[in-house]
Structure 1
Amino acid sequence: MSVDIALRVYASVTGPTAIFTTPEGVGEPLSAPAGEDIRQVIVQRAAAEARQAATAVELVTFGDHGEHRILIDSDGGIHRARSPEPVRFTEASEGKEVGTPAQEQEALGLAEAPAPEPLAPAPPTRRSFIEDADTSVLSLGGRALLAKIGLGPSRAQAERLAGERLVSQHWAGCRTAAVVNGKGGVGKTMTTAMLAAVFARHGGGNVLAWDNNDTRGTLGWRTEQGLYDTTVRDLLPAASQLLAPTAEISGIARFVHHQRVDRYDVLRSNPELLATHQRIERTEFDTLMSVAARYYRLVFFDSGNDESAERWLRMVDSSYQLVIPTLAAPEPAESAALLLDALRERDERSRDLADSAIVVVTESEPRGPAAAERVADGFRGTVREVLRIPFDPALKSGPLRFDSLRRATQDAWLRVAAAVASGF
């Protein structure tokens, strides 16, 4: 019997734990339950990959006992790999002496299959000069290097890689998320800017942060100004030009403010005007949304505090995902909970949005995580996911820049963005 290799997986073993790296380069932490050998856990995980792909998988393990390779076919059968870069495997007849050292048998923790019979020399084959590019952070070459030097990704690295792969996706059609909480000063602007930055930096731009606010929206104050001092009120009369078949893609640059390092654009409101001078009706919002969908693949709405405003309600109706920020304090948390209750009573779609919402609890002061955990625990089970952002002085005031954050804060925002991507 011969088996062709189509996929290769890796496992870095450290005592009773391991990091399993899938064919796509995503690292997964594994641990052995009490009384079970971690090597058997690894083999079971590799067998699951083989069954799912309906093809053979080569498992490369490395750790204290060195590097070892076995082949697992789609039916769960286990074979000994013949060479570091095998192409085909042949099962030998019974009774043939294997010749594998006892130390290797013990390291694998598996019964060895009989040694393969020598294969006839294969005719030379030409390697293609055109191959699919692997743009993941951990490339095929990187995984091969890890196999050689005996290192695997840490738990944090594996989680970071998985999050980056999620937020770098491109969906067919524009996706929208509304950042909402009826109370002011709870982190809506901060959340909007950070989500836009994460998606734009990893997905290649075409991301808009839209200050959908009648009453002194501050997104423009905390982000860079572009070449033109323009707001949403300037965009409205130009909408027909921007939607014309002959419009150029660069035409939108006159009305938005590009963030040079974080790569997203900001559509500002005018914080110097009263709400009565910059209200946007339902039809005007729809026109602006048509422009946004024409020029951007992702739109994040920084909402105002008036949940009865037409532009606020239309924003919710136009969103795929709700993100509800709150601070680790009773008042903003209660405001978020009341908003969820109101949305569930509004209509069926709003109820679905509330049930699948993401609540983001930010530590606004360096008082430790206890208060944030209490608030987070109050929302668990009522929404799809609850995530926490640690205290970071760079979020308190001043320009919002992703690179100014601590690494732990950056990782926390990546987790939030990955949860949003899962809802798209």
Structure 2
Amino acid sequence: MMETQALDFPKIDAVLRANGTGEVTINGTSHAIQAEDEAAVLSQALRLITDTAAQLGRPVRVSTTDPDGQGLIVVSPEGIVNEAAPAKPSPRRQQDPMPGATAPAQQAPAPVELAVKETPVLAAPVTFGEAANRLQKPSTAAKAAIPEPVTRRSLKETSFLVSAPVLEPATRGWRGTLTRLGFRMEPSPEELAEREDIRTVSQHWPGPRTVAVVNRKGGANKTPTVVMLSAILARYSGAATVAWDNNESQGTLGWRTEQGNHANSVLDLIDSSQTLLSPSTNAAEIARFVHHQTSDKFDVLRSDENEEGDHEVTAEEVDIAHQVLTRYYRLIVMDSGNTARAANWRRMIHHTNQLVVPVTAIEDRAEAARLTLQTLESRGGHDAALARNAVVIVSESTDAKRSMSGDALKRAKDEARRIADGFAPHVRAVVRIPYDPALVKGPIRYDALQPATQRAWLSAAAAVARGF
């Protein structure tokens, strides 16, 4: 194994971006990199770092930053890249002093060396062969073991199945680029966490599940939350998913999603419920009443858009619509109005398996969310259990975001963090969502979100799915 000779001097920082740009900073001198793809950026970055190591005649230590997180590597003058991690000092057992004896003076801890995990990697085209030659080969000097006497065993005690799945190599950031260059790298903790969230939202569960998205205050991000949760769960699980606008009169879910080639709403579905529940009706008939989202793969059941606004959905109508939808869908995500006393709101809670409380990082929205949870908790039974097991989703404020100064942006993030921390002791999970202009107005599409926003909503959907 290569000896660890990398020092804190020179200070080297390397940045790799997904858009084909990067930067290597050596003792404060920045070297900008622009190439066709991540692999080319990495190759140029490693060439700069390798040249520095060759000039010094020893390995150098490099702090790396990429879209997947931060890391620490060691690069040798020959272009060998190693993952570096602080080694844990071996624990020493210290005996208690004898009664009446003076305890020995505490010794200063031994310096912690840098443990290096060797991973030969291509630095530049001329070092490909050298890096490949450094791959470890099995030792041929091991002595052959003396064969043990063969004891016949039952086939019932033998299995050829692998007990644990093989961990797939990294696909993102520096590690992913190195993997694509032919050197298997383990995924970072951030990538492993994302894989776990994807696994969670991709599962199927027995029987239908109903999610209610509630906050008694308007403008709390209920509708965007319904759309995002429906899109992610439908995309990853492949389960038939419907977003239902359960506003007692007119809701806005239909305004933020695609409309099909008809104008039917929940009232039309209720009027045709006897036919839709008939054993002779096929599954495709539901398309007459819902509006399919072509890119996000879920359907929308709109609220009544009668301009007169003379009909309020009753508790009985909620029961009928829910019965129909659970026949055609495995997952129902319900938008709601702002009146927790309304009959359709309370009946929605009766059918709910998982409660989601969205809130923008503004005081009155957060207070309304708290009161919503408090109301449910005070009712006891099923309602209180939903409140305790709720997922709170805190979105950063959208007020004048683009014109906000750096200090104002920091205050907005601090406020979102304060509100999230305030809810954390009272519910099962709290997830923070960054500001994204694609959620502010117009039709909502998952693909239109920034990568960081997509990742945050994936975490939120996984938190919801864990409650199923």
Q: Distance in 2 between matches of 1:149 and 1:303?
A: 51
1:190 aligns to 2:224 (yes or no): yes
Q: Deviations over 1:31-71 (max 9, x none)?
A: 8785369xxxxxxxxxxxxxxxxxxxxxxxx941669xxxx
The answer to whether the 8 Å contact 1:146/1:152 transfers is no
Query: What is the DSSP-based 3-state SS (H/G/I as helix, E as strand, rest coil) of the residue aligned with 1:172?
Result: coil
The aligned amino acid for 2:397 is S
Q: Which residue of 2 aligns with 1:161?
A: 195
Q: Distance in 1 between matches of 2:247 and 2:275?
A: 24
Q: Distance in 1 between matches of 2:295 and 2:206?
A: 26
**Aligned counterpart for 1:299 among listed residues 311, 321, 332:** 332
Within 5 Å, give how 1:300-379 maps onto structure 2. 300-365=333-398, 366=401, 367-368=409-410, 369-379=413-423
Q: Distance in 1 between matches of 2:203 and 2:216?
A: 31
1:99 aligns to 2:141 (yes or no): yes
The answer to whether the 8 Å contact 2:266/2:303 transfers is yes
1:421 aligns to 2:465 (yes or no): yes
The answer to whether the 8 Å contact 1:232/1:269 transfers is yes
The aligned amino acid for 1:392 is D
Q: Distance in 2 between matches of 1:391 and 1:137?
A: 37
Q: Which residue of 2 aligns with 1:172?
A: 206
Within 5 Å, give how 1:108-127 maps onto structure 2. 116=145
Q: Which residue of 2 aligns with 1:250?
A: 284
Q: Are the structure 2 counterparts of residues 140 and 152 from structure 1 closer, same or farther at C-alpha, using a change threshold of 3 Å? A: closer
Q: Which residue of 2 aligns with 1:64?
A: 118
Q: Which residue of 2 aligns with 1:128?
A: none
Q: Distance in 1 between matches of 2:89 and 2:193?
A: 27
The answer to whether the 8 Å contact 2:245/2:251 transfers is yes
Within 5 Å, give how 1:235-246 maps onto structure 2. 235-246=269-280
Moved over 6 A (4+): 140-143, 145-148
Q: Which residue of 1 aligns with 2:247?
A: 213
The aligned amino acid for 2:202 is S
How far did 1:273 drift? Answer: 3.8
Larger Rg: 2
Could you state the TM-score of these two structures normalised by the residue count of structure 2? Answer: 0.62
Q: Are the structure 2 counterparts of residues 336 and 274 from structure 1 closer, same or farther at C-alpha, using a change threshold of 3 Å? A: farther
Query: What is the DSSP-based 3-state SS (H/G/I as helix, E as strand, rest coil) of the residue aligned with 1:360?
Result: strand
**Aligned counterpart for 2:430 among listed residues 364, 369, 386:** 386
Q: Are the structure 2 counterparts of residues 178 and 141 from structure 1 closer, same or farther at C-alpha, using a change threshold of 3 Å? A: closer
Q: Deviations over 1:104-148 (max 9, x none)?
A: xxxxxxxxxx864589xxxxxxxxxxxx9xxx99769999x7997
Q: Distance in 1 between matches of 2:264 and 2:423?
A: 39
The answer to whether the 8 Å contact 1:181/1:326 transfers is yes
The answer to whether the 8 Å contact 2:169/2:185 transfers is no
How far did 1:279 drift? Answer: 1.6
The aligned amino acid for 1:339 is T
Q: Deviations over 1:191-210 (max 9, x none)?
A: 00000000011111410000
**Aligned counterpart for 2:447 among listed residues 396, 403, 408:** 403
The answer to whether the 8 Å contact 2:356/2:392 transfers is yes
The answer to whether the 8 Å contact 1:175/1:299 transfers is yes
Q: Distance in 2 between matches of 1:278 and 1:370?
A: 43
The answer to whether the 8 Å contact 1:216/1:274 transfers is no
Q: Distance in 1 between matches of 2:427 and 2:345?
A: 21
Unaligned stretches of 5+ in structure 1? 1-13, 19-30, 38-61, 68-82, 85-96, 101-113, 120-131
How far did 1:174 drift? Answer: 0.3
Q: Distance in 2 between matches of 1:383 and 1:326?
A: 14
Q: Which residue of 2 aligns with 1:35?
A: 89
Could you state the TM-score of these two structures normalised by the residue count of structure 1? Answer: 0.68
Q: Distance in 1 between matches of 2:189 and 2:280?
A: 50
Q: Distance in 1 between matches of 2:321 and 2:237?
A: 23
How far did 1:250 drift? Answer: 0.2
The aligned amino acid for 1:317 is H
Aligned identity (percent) is 43
Q: Distance in 1 between matches of 2:316 and 2:218?
A: 26
Q: Are the structure 2 counterparts of residues 242 and 99 from structure 1 closer, same or farther at C-alpha, using a change threshold of 3 Å? A: same
Q: Are the structure 2 counterparts of residues 268 and 98 from structure 1 closer, same or farther at C-alpha, using a change threshold of 3 Å? A: same
The answer to whether the 8 Å contact 1:385/1:419 transfers is yes
Q: Which residue of 1 aligns with 2:258?
A: 224
The aligned amino acid for 1:220 is G
Q: Distance in 1 between matches of 2:388 and 2:170?
A: 42
Q: Are the structure 2 counterparts of residues 337 and 36 from structure 1 closer, same or farther at C-alpha, using a change threshold of 3 Å? A: farther
Q: Are the structure 2 counterparts of residues 343 and 36 from structure 1 closer, same or farther at C-alpha, using a change threshold of 3 Å? A: farther
